[in-house]
Amino acid sequence: MEGTISPCGAALAKLTAQGKKIKMEARASHAPTLHTVHISRRTAVNGVYAAIYAAAIMALLYHHALTLLHSTTLSSSFFISLCLLISDLVLASMWAMTQTFRMRLVYRNEFPENIKKVAKESEFPALDVFICTADPQKEPAMSVVNTAISVMAYDYPTEKLSVYVSDDGGSALTLFALMEAAKFASHWLPFCRKNNVVERSPEAYFAANHYSSSLKSESQKIKIMYDSMKDRVEKVVERGKVGQAELEHINGGTEVEAFKKYWSEGFTRSQHPSVIEVILQNTQDKDITGHFLPNLIYVSRQKSTTSPHNFKAGALNVLIRVSATMTNAPIFLVLDCDMYSNDPKTPLRQLCYFLGHQAIPNLGFVQFPQRFHGINKNDIYASEYKYIFRLDPKGFDGLAGSNFNGTGCFFHRRALFGSPLSFQPPEIAELEPYNIVKRPIKSQEVLALADRVSSCTYEKHTYWGSKIGFRYGSLVEDYYTSFRLHCGGWTSIFCDPERPAFLGDAPINLVDILNQTKRWSIGLLEVGFSKYSPITFGIRSLGLRMGLAYSNIAFWPTWSIPITIYAFLPQLALIKGFPIFPKVSETWFLLYMFLGLGAYGHNLIIYVLEEGTVQNWWNDQRMWMIRGLSSYLFGLVEYFLKCFGISTQGFNVTSKVVEDEQSKRYEQGIFEFGVPSPIFVPLTMAAILNLVSFFVGIVQIIRGSKLMEELFVQMFIAGYFALNFWPIYDSVFLRSDKGKLPSKTTVLAAFLTWIVYKASGFILRN
Ligand SMILES: O=c1ccn([C@@H]2O[C@H](COP(=O)(O)OP(=O)(O)O[C@H]3O[C@H](CO)[C@@H](O)[C@H](O)[C@H]3O)[C@@H](O)[C@H]2O)c(=O)[nH]1
Ligand SMILES: [Mn+2]
């Protein structure tokens, strides 16, 4: 960076200089509004409710303390009270931490139509788009193609737009698919421009099937073209190899060379050189109407079994560097391959926060929510993650800023290089943010440098992953990186427009979903128990509220403690006719009622007010319970096993492949278990125990041996769990399709439940 200006100053100046100029002009004239913000009107009500609820929690803890003191040491009542105290302590702390971001939600509005009034198109910052894919078996090539095409077709000056696809699968199939995509794009982009198409993912456009009659013949023509491209790609994927015929279909020449050069003998997924192919170049390649096309670059970083590759964070860091050598746009968008653009104006929308008189100071990134298509009626697996992806970020936005969710996020490149006040220079000047690339992207020098910075040993003895780029050390690189950026003083915005900016695929079978949340759980605990734990380092750097907000997420897996205890203990006691909660006639009973109904009721209201339905909420709370007995529980256990070096966990990519039969069952709202997996076992045990205990309880009450009054709370809890576990009973007793819970799992779970019941006899004694 030049002379005396600090690099940081230069970097920020570049984006905000315009802003300052416009700010001055704005005072004189009436500058157009780029964004507005308002705070939820429910903030005060939430505050009052939280105060009352907190008082109730204190009373409950007092009640627990009393019971503990009155129980004789090591008797069963002592053990029970201790378990209940631990459960309630976890629930209470999680509740308290949640309040930091549930109390005050921030709603924003942008006016992208005004952006051209504050900056000319030629003044827009360049935009690099990073798309990650990792496994051609689990992530269909056509999905990568659609994602790439949908962003290539952004309403953004093409000379400023570059799309980089990172392929950690190192697959010739993906490169082939992208070459096909490039050819199709030369027809598709002009078609979209001419007809003002909003769905710029061709798959989504043709699926919506809403052609007007004037468009019909034209769109039919392009659909035929798309289908034949799709056919070619899928055939190649099926065969697992790019054949001679396909190679001839591609232009021939240099592109064909690439396949021969790289995918020869000795090239494996985990051991291969870097492959960097410039498929389209925005100064040379034109669409059929003579407009230039955006850059499209395929990057498969070098892999070696002896160098750690740090999963997605590693892939993104390679993209930061490779793009720096070629285009070095000040803003880049991070996208997963399963998430296509659903609104071509999104780049203009995010600019509302980066440009002009209303530019947000120290803005590190603008996060759009993950939203999904193809979710079934009532969203049985709560795949929408309404709280995580849409509600909670609005609360974070009211503090230091939304957290990063891994995809659909626009970054200020400079934010990945140290804090706003202290720039952390990369090891070579060419990678500095705002370094201007003077050579064409296909030049020998650029390609050689790109190759060098994508090598698997490049990061040795550098700050990549610690002070520069996406941070390493957690399987949830998104959560961890945004946490560290916020700690460093960057802020962020949550941008949730009415029309979803991006739409993604959600997994539709339970084992994938539970393993996904298990991976997240391990990743979160890796941060929670690190030296950068949000509870210590976080609170010190970000203050109490933001520190606790991040801590809440880090410790999600601890929910498994109360959920498991509440799913087993009251039920075991119930079978033995052992009351463990206050009687209905006692005052303490009212407290339990208030705490239970209050928590669920409040949760329901928030959910429904944020465009939710009661059925969806029901499924959401059910999944929380299910995760508590599977993902969170396994995540917690596996994290500790990993700490003791007993096992290791990698980034197990979620499958995006959908089988027809599975998809039919999903449409009907039927749970998909299918494969035997240990992750189903505790869940099935809980299901069995709750059902049995509920019936035993009824028998006891009918026989008059126990008073309903004494066992009411336990009956209620067992009944509530059992109601939630209906899909499991359905699967065990009524279904015979391939997606049912495997009998092996049921038998094992029944056997283990019996053992737990027998073992509980030693503790639950009068
Ligand atoms: O070694 C790897 C592993 C994964 N990926 C990519 O990472 C993305 C996310 O992987 P996926 O299997 O879809 O994980 P999910 O759990 O569905 O993803 C959520 O959780 C991840 C980890 O927190 C975030 O990175 C994602 O953005 C977020 O959607 C995909 O595009 C993958 O291709 C890589 O590039 N390299
Ligand atoms: Mn995903």
Selected catalytic residue, list 168, 285, 338, 392:
168
* Cα 427 to middle of ligand 2, angstroms: 32
392 assigned to a ligand binding site: no
- Whose Cα sits closest to atom 27 in ligand 1? 406
Strands 331-336 and 295-300: unpaired
Ligand 1 close to Cβ of residue 336 (< 6 A):
yes
AA letter at 633: L
Which numbered ligand comes closest to the C-alpha of 303? 1
Residue-level pLDDT at 171: 95
- What is the secondary structure of 414-448 as a DSSP string? GGGBB-SSSB---SSGGGSTTPPP-S-TTSHHHHH
pLDDT tens digits, 3-27: 333 334 444 445 555 555 555 555 5
Q: How far is the CA of 642 from the centre of ligand 1 (A)?
A: 21
Q: Is 299 in the pocket of ligand 1 (CB under 6 A)?
A: no
Atom 1, ligand 1: which residue's CA is nearest?
Answer: 311
Q: 648-702 pLDDT, tens per residue?
A: 778 889 988 888 999 999 999 999 998 999 999 999 999 999 999 999 999 999 9
Give the closest ligand to the alpha carbon of residue 631: 1
Q: Is 139 annotated as a binding residue?
A: yes
As a 3-state breakdown, the chain gives helix, strand, coil percent values, each rounded to 5, of 55, 10, 35
* Residue 21: both structure tokens together: 């100029």
Q: Tell me if 133 CB under 6 Å of ligand 1.
A: yes
Nearest residue (CA) to ligand 1, atom 31: 336
pLDDT in tens, 302-323: 999 999 999 999 999 999 999 9
Q: For residue 366, report the distance from its CA to the centre of ligand 2, in Å.
A: 19
Contact call for residues 663 and 501 (beta carbons, < 8 A)? no
Output the CA 204–ligand 1 centroid distance in Å.
22
With a 6 A CB cut-off, is 476 part of the ligand 1 pocket?
A: yes
Q: Whose CA is nearest to atom 34 of ligand 1?
A: 312
Residue 162 is classified by DSSP as E
336 is an annotated ligand-binding site residue: yes
Q: Cβ of 455: how many Cβ atoms within 10 Å?
A: 16
Q: Which ligand is located closest to the Cα atom of residue 138?
A: 1
139, 336, 502, best to mutate for ligand 1 pocket (most atoms within 8 Å of CB): 336
Contact 406 CB / ligand 1 (< 6 Å): yes
Q: Is 651 in the pocket of ligand 1 (CB under 6 A)?
A: yes
Annotated binding residue at 155? Answer: no
Q: Which of 151, 311, 653, 657 to mutate to test the pocket of ligand 1 (most atoms within 8 A of CB)?
A: 653
CA 340 to centroid of ligand 2, rounded, Å? 12
50 Cβ neighbours under 8 A, 6+ residues apart: 99, 103
Residue 285 bears catalytic tag: no
Burial class, 736, CB count within 10 angstroms (exposed 0-12 / middle 13-18 / buried 19+) = exposed
Ligand in nearest proximity to the CA of 389:
1
Q: Which structure tokens are listed for 59?
A: 């009373």
pTM recorded for the entire structure: 0.95
Give the closest residue (by CA) to ligand 1 atom 17: 654
State in Å: Cα 635 to ligand 1 middle: 17
| pLDDT score, position 9 | 40
C-alpha 338 to ligand 2 mean position (Å): 6
Domain residue extents for the chain: 126-329+425-461
Q: Counting Cβ atoms within 10 Å, is residue 489 exposed (0-12), middle (13-18) or buried (19+)?
A: middle
What is the pLDDT, as a whole number, of residue 762?
82
522: CA distance to ligand 2 center in Å? 16
Pick the catalytic residue from 128, 338, 379, 478.
478
Residues of the chain falling short of pLDDT 70: 1-29, 72-75, 210-214, 251-255, 766
Q: Is 135 an active-site residue?
A: no
Instruction: State yes or no: 227 annotated in a binding site.
Output: no
Residues 6+ apart with CB under 8 A from 237: 136, 140, 141, 173, 177
Establish whether residue 67 lines the binding site of ligand 1, counting it when its CB lies within 6 angstroms of any ligand atom.
no
Let me know if 646 is exposed, middle or buried by CB neighbors in 10 A (0-12, 13-18, 19+).
exposed
CB-neighbour burial class of residue 30 (10 A; exposed 0-12, middle 13-18, buried 19+): exposed
Characterize 50-82 residue by residue with b for buried, 16 or more Cβ atoms within 10 angstroms of its Cβ, and e for exposed: beebeebbeebeebbeebbeebeeeebbbebbe
Q: Is the CB of 319 under 6 A from ligand 1?
A: no
